Amino acid sequence: MTTFEYALLFFTVILSGISLFIFKKVTSATLKLLLSFSGAYLFALAVHHLIPEIYGSGDKTIGIFVFIGFFLQIIIEFFSEGIEHGHIHIHSTQNAAFPYGIMAGLCLHSFLEGMPLMKNFSEPSVQQTLFIGIILHNIPIALALMTMLLNSGLSKRTAFINLSLFAAMAPLGALSGNYLGALGIDEPTVFFHRIMAVVIGIFLHISTTILFESNKEHRFNFIKLIIILAGAGIAIAL
């Protein structure tokens, strides 16, 4: 990755979050549509690009790592409370543990997603598609995170510090992936594919949760369907 790409990962989150200082709030309907687009993109990215990549490695254990990623995300959500797919929980500022548990889960989630960016894929276009997917995924998360932090009574300064911490996680994940791969902990290609498999499991959990959540009337909104098709179509076309 180039310096510009690291910066882009960081500043798209920052700009998305601080946009709430200008627009004050994002409606639930808008956030759900943004999440639907990013969720469809991640699902199509996983099944069309990433799964063929890792299964082409010949590693017979690779499916285990997909399962690990899927269930690891379930554990992460005990801490993050599902903010990755738009669940915004407003806590009293009297609760000293808030927002640290949520931030820990959210930062781990973003850190792991960034790790596969460490290495060029067999086709460079796949890495760029993953890079775009992570950015698209982090934009609605940044909006949800800032909405939650500001509505919880935290100062703008404290909210911005938490936002900056989250923004740094994906770039740090990519840097850490490069470092660990260079250490020779495992054969670099094997290490890369297994990390990618874990992230695919995370993507599958997040995307299916977003896509199959229904509204209160348990109807699948037509506009949401169009957004989902657009997100999936773009991921497949790239």
Average per-residue pLDDT in the chain?
Answer: 82
85 DSSP assignment:
G
The parent domain of residue 83 ranges over 31-237
Confidence of residue 95 (pLDDT cuts 50, 70, 90): very low
The pLDDT of residue 78: 84
Q: Distance of CA 128 to CAs 3, 54, 72, 88, Å?
A: 14, 16, 25, 30
136 in any annotated domain? yes
Closest CA to 203 of 30, 85, 75: 85
188 in any annotated domain? yes
Residues in the chain, overall count: 238
Q: What is the CA radius of gyration of the chain?
A: 17
Strand boundaries in 58-205, DSSP class E: none
Contacts 24+ apart (CB under 8 A), 24-33: 25/147, 26/143, 26/147, 31/86, 31/140, 31/143, 31/144, 31/147, 32/86, 32/224, 33/223, 33/224, 33/227
**Are 124 and 65 contacting, i.e. CB atoms less than 8 angstroms apart?**
no
120 in any annotated domain? yes
47 in any annotated domain? yes
231 in any annotated domain? yes
88, pLDDT greater than 70: no
Q: Which residue has the tokens 């935290």?
A: 154
Confidence of residue 56 (pLDDT cuts 50, 70, 90): confident
Q: Count up the domains in the chain and report the number.
A: 1
Highest mean pLDDT among 44-48, 150-154, 178-182, 222-226: 44-48
Please, what is the end-to-end C-alpha distance for the chain in angstroms?
Answer: 18
89, pLDDT greater than 80: no
118 in any annotated domain? yes
Highest mean pLDDT among 31-35, 70-74, 121-125: 70-74
Instruction: Report the distance separating Cα 100 and Cα 106, nearest Å.
Output: 10
19 in any annotated domain? no
Mean pLDDT across the stretch 178-190? 66
217, pLDDT greater than 70: no
pLDDT tens digits, 113-164: 998 887 666 677 888 889 999 999 999 899 888 888 888 777 888 889 999 9
26 in any annotated domain? no
**Are 105 and 99 contacting, i.e. CB atoms less than 8 angstroms apart?**
no
